[in-house]
Chain A
Amino acid sequence: MQEKFKILIIDDSVTIRQAIEKNLSNFPLEVVGMAGDGKTALELFRNTQPDVVTLDITMPELDGITVLEEMMKIKKDVKVMVITALKDKATGLRAIQIGAKSYLVKPFTSEKLKAAFSRMMGIN
């Protein structure tokens, strides 16, 4: 049986959370949680210890950069794909420096999301 990766989906938009879940449904993933704000995201992260995270940046409570820093302290080998509307190099670079493996700018098409996710996971 194929190994399933535990994924946590974090975005303050429920529409985007649903779109990510739907578009990644053909990957070997088990969705262990979804969060709409940074504080809940960190709680879920600590409780579920996911292998993979999709992470928004502009969120209530805690922003995604702070969440990313905290996640890296808890589980350094987690694969994090930042999915954000913030289309500037400095933020992308900062996220990668902290430990994100991928940075995808919204709006995304299904194809772009799947391709970026495949690259991050090393799936052909």
Chain B
Amino acid sequence: MNETDLHFFIDSTVNYFEEVTGEQAITGIPYLKGKEPVVLDYSGIIGISGKRKGCVYITTTSEMLKSLANIILNDHQATIETVKDLTGEIANTISGNVREAYGSSFMISVPVVVEGRAKDIRLPEHVQTFVIPITWKEYKSFLVVCLE
């Protein structure tokens, strides 16, 4: 994975928030993931296969997801099911949009959603994993990209 790869994911993330909410998300400086867990309330994980292999996940807070659900559905009291579903959909959209750069050989799985901060998300150990901090409104989240 190189800087160009990271830019594809950053652009896709910024575009997601801008299109859906009309407000820009600010991405922080990406860093290499260490042993510390990068897990917030909900994480949406996408497996990558084809020419590139690995996984991408977004991890975020319940508050941010409720705020997004309010914008998308005008739903002020989003249920846990909606919040979980939205986590997977964000991961799917960000990953699917980068096919603009990689083409159709960049295969994405359906999302898997993990709830809770207790454990880290298990990633391939031999591959460098980058963490991209995201701030939208007052909410923090992280996009984690692990690609061979």
A binding-site residues for B, Cβ under 8 Å: 12-16, 18-19, 22, 58-60, 84-88, 90-91, 105-109
Mark interface residues in B58-93 (1 if CB within 8 Å of A CB, else 0): 000000000001001110000001100110110011
CB pair B85–A90 under 8 Å, yes or no, is: no
B binding-site residues for A, Cβ under 8 Å: 15-16, 19-20, 69, 72-74, 81-82, 85-86, 88-89, 92-100, 102-104, 106, 108-110
Choice from B81, B93, B94, B104 contacting A91 with Cβ under 8 Å: B104
Residues from chain B with Cβ under 8 Å of A19 in the complex = 72-73
Total CB contacts across the A-B interface at under 8 A: 68
Give, as a whole number of angstroms, the nearest-CB distance from A101 to chain B. Answer: 21
Which chain A residue lies CB-closest to B92?
Answer: A85
CB pair A86–B110 under 8 Å, yes or no, is: no
Residues from chain A with Cβ under 8 Å of B98 in the complex = 87
Residues from chain B with Cβ under 8 Å of A108 in the complex = 19
CB pair B19–A90 under 8 Å, yes or no, is: no
Residues from chain A with Cβ under 8 Å of B97 in the complex = 85, 87, 105-106
Residues from chain B with Cβ under 8 Å of A59 in the complex = 110
- SS of B interface (majority): helix
Which chain A residue lies CB-closest to B82?
Answer: A15
Which chain B residue lies CB-closest to A37?
Answer: B110
Residues from chain B with Cβ under 8 Å of A12 in the complex = 110
Residues from chain B with Cβ under 8 Å of A18 in the complex = 73
Once the chains are docked, how many angstroms separate the CA of A91 from the CA of B50? 15
Choice from A13, A14, A86, A109 contacting B19 with Cβ under 8 Å: A109
Residues from chain B with Cβ under 8 Å of A16 in the complex = 89
Residues from chain B with Cβ under 8 Å of A86 in the complex = 96, 99, 104, 108
CB pair B16–A107 under 8 Å, yes or no, is: yes
Residues from chain B with Cβ under 8 Å of A87 in the complex = 96-100
Once the chains are docked, how many angstroms separate the CA of A110 from the CA of B81? 22
Choice from B20, B74, B86, B110 contacting A58 with Cβ under 8 Å: B110
CB pair B104–A88 under 8 Å, yes or no, is: yes
Given the interface pairs A107-B19, A109-B19, the reply to whether A15 lies near B99 with Cβ below 8 Å is no
Once the chains are docked, how many angstroms separate the CA of A90 from the CA of B105? 10
Residues from chain A with Cβ under 8 Å of B81 in the complex = 14
Once the chains are docked, how many angstroms separate the CA of A87 from the CA of B8? 12
Which chain B residue lies CB-closest to A16?
Answer: B89
CB pair B69–A85 under 8 Å, yes or no, is: no
Choice from A13, A60, A88, A107 contacting B99 with Cβ under 8 Å: A88
